[in-house]
C-alpha cells in the first residue's frame, strides 16, 4: 500500500480527482493543525480525556445538560475553545479544498471542526456536522448572529431580545447532531460520490467513518491523509502518511494545470 507522499500514490489520487464528478472530503482536527490549532480529542479538538480544573470530566463540563444547569461553567470552557481558534488563519489544506470546489464539478467537505476555517477559506459546499463556535443562537427566541470572537462578550451571554440564554451553535457532549447538517449529509451521500478522502481525523464516529466504508463497498476510490492509523485505514485504497497541508498542496500542484480556469 502506498505510504507518505510517494509520487505514484499522489498520481493515483490526482487522477481520481480529475476523473471524479462528485468528491467528498472528510476533515478533522488534523486539517487545522497547520493553522496552529490543537488536535486533541473533544469539542473543537481542544481537550484530552481528563478532568477539568472544576474536577469533572470534560465530557460533563461541555455537555448539553450542564449548559442548562450551570451555563457559566460550560461557557468558560467554550470560551477556551474560541480563544484557541482566535487569530488562526486557514491552512494550505483549507485553501486547496476551497479552490478545488471552484474547479471540480462537485466537491463537498464534511468537517467535524468548529473553528470555521473551511468557511473562512471560501468553501461553500460545506457540512459543519458539529457546528461553528462563532455562530450564536438564542435558546429562547432562536435569534442567530455570527461573531468574529468572544472578546467583550458577557459570559454567559443573554439574548438582547428576550433575555434567554445564548449558546454557540455547536454540538456539545450528549446532544444530537444538527438535523439540517445531517440531512444534507444523507442527501449528498444518496447522490453518491466517485471519490472519498478522509483527512486529519481518527474517524471515531460512525457518521464520519460511514462514507468511507460505503465508498469502499461500492468499489469507489478511497484515500486517507493521516500520519497515523485510524478506524478507516484498512478501508482506504491509498494512504498518504502526511499532514493535510503538505498532501493537499502536493495534489494541487499535480492537478492545477489540468483543471478548467476558476
pLDDT tens for 168-203 read 999 999 999 999 999 999 999 999 999 999 999 999
Quickly list DSSP for 26-80. Answer: EE-HHHHGGGT----SSGGG---SSB-TTSSBHHHHTBHHHHHH-HHHHHHHHHH
Helix, strand, or coil here: 19? helix
Q: Give me the sheet containing 166-170, strands edge to edge.
A: 144-146, 131-138, 166-170
Which one is catalytic: 94, 118, 130, 134? 130
**Domain segments of the chain: what residues?**
7-37+89-130+176-258, 43-86+136-170
The DSSP call for residue 173 is B
**Minimum mean pLDDT range among 78-92, 196-210, 233-247:** 78-92
pLDDT for res 175: 94
Helix (H) and strand (E) counts for the chain? 10, 9
In whole numbers, what is the pLDDT of the chain averaged over residues? 91
CB neighbour burial string for 79-89, b if at least 16 within 10 angstroms, e if fewer: bebbebbeebe
| pLDDT given at position 144 | 96
**Is the pLDDT confidence value at 11 over 70?**
yes
Q: How far apart are CA 73 and CA 174, in angstroms?
A: 16
How far apart are alpha carbons 26 and 36 in whole angstroms? 19
- The reply to whether 130 belongs to the active site is yes
Report pLDDT for 40.
54
Alpha-carbon torsion, ordered 143, 145, 150, 155, to 10 deg: -10
pLDDT at res. 154: 93
> How many Å separate Cα 125 from the centre of its chain?
13
The reported pLDDT for the residue numbered 39 is 65
Helix 179-191 to helix 206-217 angle, to the nearest 10 degrees? Answer: 10
Band the pLDDT of 1: cuts 50, 70, 90: very low
190 vs 182: CA distance, rounded Å:
12
**Range 111-125 average pLDDT:** 96
In the β-sheet with 107-111, what is the strand arrangement from edge to edge?
126-128, 107-111, 23-27, 195-199, 222-225, 238-240
Cell of 13: 489520487
Q: Which residues of 130-163 are buried (b: 16+ CB within 10 A; e: fewer)?
A: bbbbbbbbbeeeeeeeeeeebeeeeebbebeeee
We find that the CATH architecture of domain 43-86+136-170 is: 2-Layer Sandwich (3.30)
**Chain segment 39-70, per-residue pLDDT in tens:** 655 444 445 445 566 678 888 989 999 999 99
User: How high is the pLDDT of residue 228?
Assistant: 93
At residue 121, does pLDDT exceed 50? Answer: yes
Q: Which fold has domain 7-37+89-130+176-258?
A: Rossmann fold (3.40.50)
Residue 220 belongs to what H/E stretch? Answer: none
Tell me whether the omega of the peptide bond preceding residue 156 falls within 30 degrees of 0, making it cis: yes
Amino acid at each position: 500500500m502506498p505510504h507518505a507522499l510517494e509520487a505514484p500514490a499522489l498520481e493515483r489520487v490526482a487522477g481520481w480527482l480529475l476523473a471524479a464528478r462528485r468528491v467528498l472530503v472528510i476533515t478533522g482536527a488534523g486539517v487545522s493543525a497547520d493553522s496552529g490549532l490543537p488536535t486533541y480529542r473533544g469539542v473543537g479538538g481542544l481537550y484530552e480525556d481528563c478532568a477539568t480544573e472544576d474536577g469533572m470530566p470534560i465530557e460533563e463540563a461541555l455537555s448539553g445538560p450542564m449548559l442548562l444547569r450551570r451555563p457559566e461553567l460550560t461557557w468558560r470552557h467554550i470560551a477556551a475553545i474560541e480563544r484557541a481558534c482566535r487569530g488562526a488563519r486557514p491552512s494550505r489544506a483549507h485553501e486547496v479544498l476551497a479552490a478545488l470546489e471552484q474547479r471540480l464539478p462537485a466537491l463537498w467537505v464534511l468537517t467535524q471542526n468548529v473553528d470555521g476555517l473551511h468557511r473562512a477559506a471560501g468553501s461553500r459546499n460545506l457540512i459543519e456536522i458539529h457546528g461553528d463556535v462563532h455562530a450564536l443562537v438564542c435558546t429562547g427566541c432562536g435569534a442567530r448572529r455570527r461573531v468574529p470572537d468572544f472578546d467583550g462578550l458577557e459570559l454567559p451571554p443573554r439574548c438582547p431580545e428576550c433575555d434567554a440564554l445564548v449558546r454557540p451553535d455547536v454540538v456539545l457532549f450528549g446532544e444530537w447532531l444538527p438535523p439540517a447538517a445531517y440531512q444534507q449529509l444523507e442527501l449528498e451521500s444518496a447522490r453518491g460520490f466517485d471519490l472519498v478522502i478522509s483527512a486529519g481525523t481518527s474517524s471515531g464516529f460512525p457518521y464520519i467513518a460511514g462514507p468511507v466504508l460505503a465508498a469502499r463497498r461500492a468499489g469507489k476510490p478511497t484515500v486517507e491523509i493521516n500520519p497515523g492509523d485510524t478506524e478507516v485505514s484498512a478501508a482506504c485504497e491509498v494512504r498518504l502518511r502526511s499532514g493535510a497541508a503538505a498532501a493537499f498542496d502536493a495534489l494541487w500542484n499535480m492537478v492545477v494545470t489540468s483543471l478548467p480556469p476558476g
